[in-house]
Amino acid sequence: MVEVLLRLPGDLKWIAESEEDLKFIESVVVRTLCETKLGDLLAEQSRLRAEEISDLDHLVKAGLFKRMKMVE
């Protein structure tokens, strides 16, 4: 098992006060790390052109923006 240490700035100390909030942040961080690693593994053998990569980049960012808006 991998241990992840997350340091939060002082103005975000309210997250650490609630175990529920802390678990949520922890799950988001771990999911993001896994998605990033998976993306890296997929891109490693990729034969995409720069234009295709740019198009995918915009799609991913739009999806993340939409997901973050739903959380708020």
Burial of 36 by CB count in 10 Å (0-12 exposed, 13-18 middle, 19+ buried)?
exposed
Q: Tell me if residue 58 falls in helix, strand or coil.
A: helix
DSSP state at residue 8: -
Question: What residues in the chain have per-residue pLDDT under 50?
Answer: none
pLDDT of residue 62: 92
